Amino acid sequence: MDPEAKSYLRGKRYNREKRQGERTDLTSPTNEEKSTTADRLAAQYHVSRQTIEKDGAFAEAVDELEAQVRKDQRQASARYC
C-alpha cells in the first residue's frame, strides 16, 4: 500500500472515531487525563500525534475533491443528455 493510501485510511479512521461519543459538557479532570483519539491511533500505527491529525485533514480534503469531481461529472453528463 502506498503512503498516501495509508495516510488516507488513518485519517478516515481518525475523523470517524474522534466524533463518536463526542460531548462538550464534560469537564471532569478524569476526562482531561484520558488519551485522545489521535494519541491512541498514533501509538497503534507507530506515528506521531501530528501525523494522525494531518492524516485527518488530508482525508477530508480528498473526500471534498472527490465530491466536487463527481458533481462536475454529473453536470457535464447532464449537458450532453
**Mean pLDDT of the 26-51 span:** 80
Say what the pLDDT of residue 78 is: 77
CB atoms within 10 A of CB 40: 15
Say what the pLDDT of residue 19 is: 81
Better-predicted residue by pLDDT, 55 or 77: 55
Euclidean distance between CA atoms 48 and 2, whole angstroms:
18
Say whether pTM exceeds 0.95.
no
Percentage of the residues of the chain whose pLDDT score is greater than 70: 81
- Cα–Cα nearest to 60, from 22, 13, 3, 1: 13
Better-predicted residue by pLDDT, 20 or 24: 20
